[in-house]
Amino acid sequence: MKDFQYRSRDGLNLYARLQAPDGDVKGVIGLIHGLGEYGGRYCDVGRVFADRGYAFVAGDLRGHGLSQGRRAFAPRLDSFLDDFDRYIAAIRERFPGKPLFLYAFSMGSPLTAVYLAERQPHIAGAVLVSGVYMTPLPAKVRALSLIAPTMAVSNTLGPLREKVCHDVAVLDAYDADSLVYKKITIGLAAIIAEAGRTALAHAGEIRTPVLIMHGDADVVAAPEGSKQLAAAVTGDATLKLWPGLYHFLNFEPGAREHIFPFVTDWCDAHLPK
């Protein structure tokens, strides 16, 4: 993978990796990753997409991975939306004229859904995976987000660990990865909850084609949120539930053989004619 950096509106250097196919590029897939993780976890995913003719760009969100910013924090929801504007512009500079898809996971899915509804980007489509749309925000956390938004609390896999992914090696690698930040700030927790509520409330304003995927055995993010989002989108929306699969859908056994071909087939069908 090659890497590059781009600048956020508020002056942060944001980091991204780029993986291109050997031959012609028919489209580009830009990752919006989940809480605490970073784009480097998706190198194998990028190779799968590259084999199907798609360039894959795996950026690190602000406060994550190799990007600058207080760890697992953003001042407000719009900070992420502004970053996505810059991210898309940076991708288009490198792949001018190529159809662009966003590929979002977990926290990244409601952030991306809000982005689609509010910013109406001119992209070919978006894939929203394991979205966190229905996370309740306790009153205590809501109050703390106003007075101590940068306060960080633990965000390890904890007692749900065995229900996050069927592949124990993936869980072990996640735990051992020093670039995976295993805390969350109170402010970011509030933003995630806000993004989930906003995504469901404004899904009808999404004009971009969307593929919404969820493992139906996900105990981290309720599949019902993805169902509600898909039902509320009035345009081109495809809901795909994967029986028996957990939250880390991208890393579940069989993802390479079943999930990613489904995604690339969907992208192929949404390339401009």
Asked whether residue 97 carries a pLDDT value surpassing 90, the answer given is yes
Query: What are the tokens at 96?
Result: 């001018």
Residue indicated by tokens 């662009």 = 100
pLDDT at residue 237 is higher than 90? yes
Give CA–CA dist 161/159, Å, rounded. 5
Look over the chain and give the mean of its residue pLDDT values, rounded to a whole number: 96
Residue spans of the domains in the chain: they are: 2-269
At residue 137 the predicted structure's pLDDT band, cuts being 50, 70 and 90, is confident
Q: What is the reported pLDDT for 122? A: 97
Residues 80-97: what's their mean pLDDT?
Answer: 98
> What integer pLDDT is reported at residue 29 of this predicted model?
98
Fold of 2-269: Rossmann fold (3.40.50)
Query: At residue 141, does pLDDT exceed 90?
Result: no
Whether the pLDDT of residue 158 is over 90: the answer is no
Predicted local confidence at residue 135, as pLDDT: 81
Calpha distance 99→267 (Å, rounded)? 10
- Whole-angstrom Cα distance, residue 138 to residue 40? 32
pLDDT recorded at residue 1: 78
From the number of C-beta atoms within 10 Å of its C-beta (0-12, 13-18, 19+), residue 30 rates as buried
Three-class DSSP category at 169 = helix
Q: Chain centroid to CA 233: how far?
A: 18
Q: Per-residue pLDDT averaged across 103-111, rounded?
A: 98
pLDDT in tens, 23-57: 999 999 999 999 999 999 999 999 999 999 999 99
The predicted structure's pLDDT at residue 139: 84
**Nearest of 184, 255, 248 to residue 221 by alpha carbon:** 248
pLDDT of 202: 98
Question: Cα separation of 217 and 163, whole Å?
Answer: 8
CA 73 vs CA 50, 125, 182, 252: distances in Å:
31, 27, 12, 28
pLDDT computed for residue 6 by the predictor: 98
> How far is it, in rounded angstroms, from Cα 118 to Cα 199?
10
Q: For residues 46-70, give the mean pLDDT.
A: 98
pLDDT at 157: 83
* CA-angle at 219, arms to 217 and 223, nearest 5°: 65
pLDDT digits (tens, 9 = 90+) for 193-216: 999 999 999 999 999 999 999 999
For residue 215, what is the enclosing H or E element? Answer: strand 210-215
pLDDT-derived band at 273 (thresholds 50, 70, 90) equals confident
pLDDT of residue 159: 87
Which of 102, 105, 93 lies closest to 122 in space, CA to CA?
Answer: 102
Residue 221: name the closest of 145, 136, 139 by CA.
Answer: 136
Of 10-24, 87-101, 137-151, which gets the smallest average pLDDT? 137-151
| CA-closest candidate to residue 22, choices 49, 41, 42 | 49
% pLDDT > 90, the chain: 93
pLDDT higher than threshold 90 for residue 142: no
Produce one character per residue of 124-154: b if its CB has 16 or more CB atoms within 10 Å, e if not: bbbbbbbbbbbbebeeeeeebbeeebebbee
